[in-house]
Amino acid sequence: MALNRDFVGRTFEASAPYEVSRTKIREFAAAIGDDNPIYRDKDAAAAAGHPDVIAPPTFPIVFSLSGAGEGISDPGLGLNYAMVVHGEQRFEYRRPIYAGDELVCTSTITEIRSVGRNEFLTIRSDVTSTSGELVCQAYNTIVERGGAA
């Protein structure tokens, strides 16, 4: 079933700010096998000019879809999640994510399109500090296999 195009432009906000902890950054770095001390040691991060340990580039995936989950699971959209694969992912960073950050995430469905038999849905997530400073933007494109058939 084709996805409901009326969902393009809808915006979803995460229910609470995401608190970035040193422990979670360390856990994520360990999971990707990256032993870079900048992810673990405040002094190593300071030597590179950072106020605290920073997160690896793909870390925002941990929290950036927390608001959008509500949108893509809405029955009105018509997405069969069992057929979904991750198509594309992109991040644009204004500054690194630091331990201690409290991040607000607002996600918008920016595009739904058909490519052959598949449906492509793109979500842009704007990640800001609690004072409104833009930290990064994440663009997530998921593919529903056979959805356009």
Partner 1 sequence: MAATIKYDEVQVGQEIPAADYQVRRVNLVMYAGASGDFNPIHWNERHAKSVGLPDVIAHGMFTMAEGGRFVTDWAGDPGAVVEYGVRFSSMVVVPDDDQGATITITGVIEDKLEDKRVVVALNARSGDARVLSKARAVVQLS
Kind and range of the H or E element at 101? none
Query: Taking the complex as a whole, how short is the minimal distance between the CB of residue 100 and partner 1, in angstroms?
Result: 15
- Find out whether 16 and 67 touch, Cβ atoms under 8 Å: no
The one-character DSSP state at 48 is: T
Residue where the block lists tokens 């992912």? 89
Nearest to 123 by CA among 148, 89, 84: 89
Q: Interface with partner 1 by CB under 8 A: which residues?
A: 24, 27-28, 30-34, 36, 38-39, 48-50, 54, 56-58, 61-62, 82, 85-93, 95-96, 139
Taking the CB of residue 57, how many other CB atoms lie within 10 A of it? 12
Query: Taking the complex as a whole, how short is the minimal distance between the CB of residue 6 and partner 1, in angstroms?
Result: 27
Query: Taking the complex as a whole, how short is the minimal distance between the CB of residue 49 and partner 1, in angstroms?
Result: 5
The residue among 33 and 76 lying less far from partner 1, judged by its C-beta, is: 33
Nearest to 82 by CA among 72, 92, 91, 90: 72
Query: Taking the complex as a whole, how short is the minimal distance between the CB of residue 142 and partner 1, in angstroms?
Result: 10
- CA–CA gap between residue 149 and residue 102 (Å, rounded): 42
